[in-house]
Amino acid sequence: MNPSTWKILFLVMLFPIVSLAQTPKPGPFKVRKSDRDGDGLKNKRDRCPDQAGPSYLFGCPDSDGDGVTDSKDLCPLEAGLELLLGCPDRDADGVSDLFDECPDVPGLIDRKGCPDRDRDGVVDDLDLCPDQPGSELTFGCPDRDADGIADRDDKCPDLPGALSANGCPDSDGDGISDDLDRCPLTPGLSALLGCPEIQPEDRDFLYRARERIRFEPESALLETDAKAYLDELANLLNRYSDFQLRISVHTDTQGPLDANQKLSELQGEACLKYLTEKGIKASRLSARGFGENKPIANNRYPEGRMKNRRVEVELVLD
C-alpha cells in the first residue's frame, strides 16, 4: 500500500471523530432578553416585542400576509388592501367587502358599494326607475310635482295632490279629486260626486216650505211667517254652500189661466229677491212659476185649492 493510500484511509477514519467533537449538545431554548419574541428584531426596534412578526412590519404580526398588521387589519384572516385597512374588495369598487352591500357588483362609495345608474340616491336593486332620477319616497321614480306620488302613478303629475285622489288636488280631503268633485271645498260622498249628504232634518225643513211660504191673497207679497222661513232657509244655504236652490211656485185654478201663470212667476221672483237681500248669491238661485198646471189636490174644494197654492224648494247640484 503506497503512502497516498494510507493518507486517505487516515482521513476517512478521522472525520467521524472530528464531527462528533463539533456537534453541540442539546439543551433548553434560551430567549434572549434583547429579543423577547425571537423574531430577529431587538426589543428596541420591535413595535410588537411580545408578538413575532416580519422585520418589514417592524416585528408586528400579519396573519393573512397582506402587509397590514393584525392590530390595524379589520379583516386579519383575509388578505386585503392596505387602502381598505386590510379587507378584500372583490368587485374592485373601492368599498371593502366588509361594508359592501353589493360585493360582487361594482358600485358607488356613497351608496355602500351598490350601483346607482341615475345617481338619484336609490340603488338600482331598489329603484323602480333605475334610468330616471327620482326620490326615495317614490322608489327612485320621477315626481315632477313633489307630492310623493310617482309621475307614472299620478293622474295629475304637474299638480301636487293626495294619494287618496290618485295624485290630484283634493281641497276638502274627501278622497275625490277637485276635477271630479262637484263640491271641492266641502267634504262629501263619492255617490254624491263629492258633495255632502243633505241631512234628514234639513230635508224635512225644505219640505215644510209648502206650508210656510205664503203670500197675501192674490199678490206676490210675502207673509210674515214666510219671511221667517226664508231667513232660516238662507242659513241652511250657507251650510250647503255648494248647492243651488230651485224654487217652484204653484197656484190654484181660481182666476184666469194666464193671470195665475203670471202670479206664480211674480211670487217666485219675490222669493229670489228676499234671499239675495239676505246675502245669497243670485247665481245659486232659480225660480219658476207653473201657475195652475201641476195640482196635487182637487181644486173643487177649498182644502184642495189651499194645497195647490204652494211653494216647493229643492237643493240641487249644478
Tell whether the model's pLDDT for residue 44 goes beyond 70.
yes
Task: Please say whether the dihedral angle defined by the alpha carbons of residues 39, 43, 47 and 50, taken in this order, is positive or negative.
Answer: positive
- Using a cut of 0.95, tell me whether the model's pTM lies above it: no
Grid look-up 217666485 returns 268
- Domain contains 214: yes
- Domain contains 185: no
Q: Would you mind telling me the total number of residues written for the chain in this entry?
A: 318
pLDDT by residue (tens digit) across 66-101?
889 988 888 998 888 888 888 998 888 889 888 888
Which of 84, 113, 142 is at the close of a domain? 113
Between CA 164 and CA 161 the distance in angstroms is 9
Tell me how many domains the chain contains: 2
- Domain contains 306: yes
- Domain contains 27: no
- Domain contains 250: yes
pLDDT at 20: 44
Q: Both 216 and 108 in a single domain? A: no
Q: Decide: residue 2, CB within 10 A, 0-12 exposed, 13-18 middle, 19+ buried.
A: exposed
CATH code of residue 306 = 3.30.1330.60
Report the percentage of the chain scoring pLDDT > 70. 90
CA dihedral 120, 123, 126, 129 (to 10 degrees): 40
- Domain contains 183: no
Which of 113, 133, 148 is at the close of a domain? 113
- Domain contains 163: no
Question: What value does the mean pLDDT take over residues 137-158?
Answer: 92
Tell whether the model's pLDDT for residue 318 goes beyond 80.
no
Which of 113, 145, 177 is at the close of a domain? 113
pLDDT by residue (tens digit) across 225-271?
999 999 999 999 999 988 999 999 999 999 999 999 999 999 999 99
Q: Are residues 315 and 244 in contact, defined by beta-carbon separation less than 8 angstroms?
A: yes
Q: Both 103 and 206 in a single domain? A: no
Residue 283's pLDDT band (boundaries 50, 70, 90)?
very high
Tell whether the model's pLDDT for residue 313 goes beyond 60.
yes
Residue 31's pLDDT band (boundaries 50, 70, 90)?
low
Task: Look up residue 76 and give its amino acid.
Answer: P
Tell whether the model's pLDDT for residue 23 goes beyond 80.
no
The highest-confidence range among 9-13, 29-33, 136-140, by mean pLDDT, is: 136-140
Short-list 121, 70, 58, CA closest to 80: 70
Grid look-up 386579519 returns 76
pLDDT by residue (tens digit) across 148-189?
999 999 999 999 998 888 899 999 989 899 988 988 888 999
pLDDT at 40: 80
Q: Both 109 and 212 in a single domain? A: no
- Domain contains 66: yes
Enclosing domain of residue 59: 40-113
Helix H, strand E, coil C: the string for the chain is CCHHHHHHHHHHHHHHHHHHHHCCCCCCCCCCCCCCCCCCCCCCCCCCCCCCCCHHHCCCCCCCCCCCCCCCCCCCCCCCEHHHCCECCCCCCCCCCCCCCCCCCCCCHHHCCCCCCCCCCCCCCCCCCCCCCCCHHHCCCCCCCCCCCCHHHCCCCCCCCEHHHCCECCCCCCCCCCCCCCCCCCCCEHHHCCECCCCHHHHHHHHCHHHHCCECCCCCCECHHHHHHHHHHHHHHHHCCCCEEEEEEECCCCCCHHHHHHHHHHHHHHHHHHHHHCCCCHHHEEEEECCCCCCCCCCCCHHHHHHHCEEEEEEECC
pLDDT by residue (tens digit) across 113-126?
888 888 988 888 88
